[in-house]
């Protein structure tokens, strides 16, 4: 594969050369659009000494572009059968390591120690959409040095990650991600940019992990449990949804008193609350319990 030859025909030819077809079950929609590829790597702002983790390299279209710009690239691919194509396409790059494994099962602490030492890492990926959220949460929740994450994901999920309180797309995942990272929208991508074409539109997003959360939370487990509970029954008011969850540790009257003390309406719904309000409510409940 020449550096720029990743047309639809080339993808088909390379796969059939190994007797392969794209695996829907692994989210294999290969990128075939030059402009999108460049937008992904440009938004990663790579330097000669950058360390990059790629998730799901597939046939290596993105990996090659990353290898051209970064000092070291490690790519984790679950599909053993595609490795011959990937290895062939990357043979000229000695600073690329391929790891055959499931990114959700890989021990990221060990992987980072082995391939990147103590250096900060930039993650770049055209993700398999069936596991987008677990991958993002694993990257953000593991205690590893990640300086930025550039991802191609389903457009609908991208909207949820960046959504603000009160909007239709806002939910528990918006809060969980925005607590840990700043979310930037890079561009939308039409299905025609892939082979085979997915049924949905996609978006490229850039997440910049925060050095510290934007709000002060006394008990993170309680904070996230409160958020989950508030969004578990979206049609109910915040008080009704949360007070029916015994593990939050507060009854209806107590919750009403907390909202009133914070100057919040007792009839509000969870989707109208932002990070700051969730933190204040959680902290007030936690303090009451002490």
List contacts with ligand SAM (CB under 6 A). 26-31, 55-58, 61-62, 76-79, 102-104, 126, 128, 131
Give the C-alpha separation, 165 to 258, whole Å: 20
Nearer to ligand SAM, 56 or 171 (CB): 56
Q: Angle of helix 61-69 relative to helix 34-44, nearest 10 degrees?
A: 40
User: Beta 96-100 vs 72-77: how paired, if at all?
Assistant: parallel
Nearer to ligand SAM, 128 or 171 (CB): 128
Name the residue number minimizing CB distance to ligand SAM: 56
Nearer to ligand SAM, 166 or 191 (CB): 191
Shortest spacing between CB 183 and ligand SAM, in angstroms: 20
Nearer to ligand SAM, 8 or 185 (CB): 8
Instruction: Give the total residue count for the chain.
Output: 290
Token pair 């390379």 is found at: 14
Query: If 0-12 CB within 10 Å is exposed, 13-18 middle and 19+ buried, where does residue 60 land?
Result: buried
Nearer to ligand SAM, 79 or 271 (CB): 79
Shortest spacing between CB 9 and ligand SAM, in angstroms: 15
Give the C-alpha separation, 135 to 128, whole Å: 9
User: Beta 51-55 vs 121-126: how paired, if at all?
Assistant: parallel
Shortest spacing between CB 130 and ligand SAM, in angstroms: 7
Joined together, the tokens standing for residue 155 give 């457009």
Contact 31, 4 (CB under 8 A): no
Shortest spacing between CB 151 and ligand SAM, in angstroms: 11
Shortest spacing between CB 152 and ligand SAM, in angstroms: 7
Nearer to ligand SAM, 64 or 222 (CB): 64
Work out the number of other CB atoms within 10 angstroms of the CB of residue 268. 14
Shortest spacing between CB 104 and ligand SAM, in angstroms: 5
């Amino acid at each position: 594969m020449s550096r720029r030859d990743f047309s639809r025909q080339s993808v088909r030819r390379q796969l059939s050369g190994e007797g392969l077809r794209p695996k829907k079950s692994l989210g294999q929609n290969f990128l075939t659009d030059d402009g999108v590829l460049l937008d992904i790597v440009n938004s990663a702002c790579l330097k000669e000494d950058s360390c990059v983790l790629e998730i799901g390299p597939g046939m290596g279209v993105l990996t090659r572009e990353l290898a051209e710009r970064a000092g070291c690239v490690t790519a984790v691919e679950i599909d053993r059968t595609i490795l011959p194509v990937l290895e062939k396409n990357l043979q000229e790059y000695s600073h690329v390591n391929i790891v055959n494994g499931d990114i959700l099962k890989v021990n990221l602490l060990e992987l980072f120690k082995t391939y990147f030492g103590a250096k900060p890492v930039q993650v770049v990926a055209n993700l398999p959409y069936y596991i987008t959220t677990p991958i993002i949460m694993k990257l953000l929740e593991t205690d590893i040095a990640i300086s930025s994450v550039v991802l191609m994901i389903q457009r609908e999920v991208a909207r949820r990650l960046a959504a603000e309180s009160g909007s239709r797309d806002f939910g528990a995942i918006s809060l969980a991600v925005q607590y840990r990272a700043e979310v930037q929208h890079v561009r939308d991508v039409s299905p025609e940019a892939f082979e085979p074409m997915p049924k949905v539109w996609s978006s490229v997003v850039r997440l910049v992990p925060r050095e510290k959360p934007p709000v002060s939370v006394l008990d993170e487990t309680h904070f996230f449990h409160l958020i989950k509970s508030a969004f578990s029954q979206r049609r109910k008011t915040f008080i009704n949804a949360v007070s029916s969850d015994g593990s939050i540790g507060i009854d209806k009257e107590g919750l009403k008193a907390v909202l009133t003390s914070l100057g919040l309406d007792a009839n509000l719904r969870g989707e109208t609350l932002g990070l700051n309000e969730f933190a204040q409510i959680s902290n007030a409940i936690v303090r009451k319990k002490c």
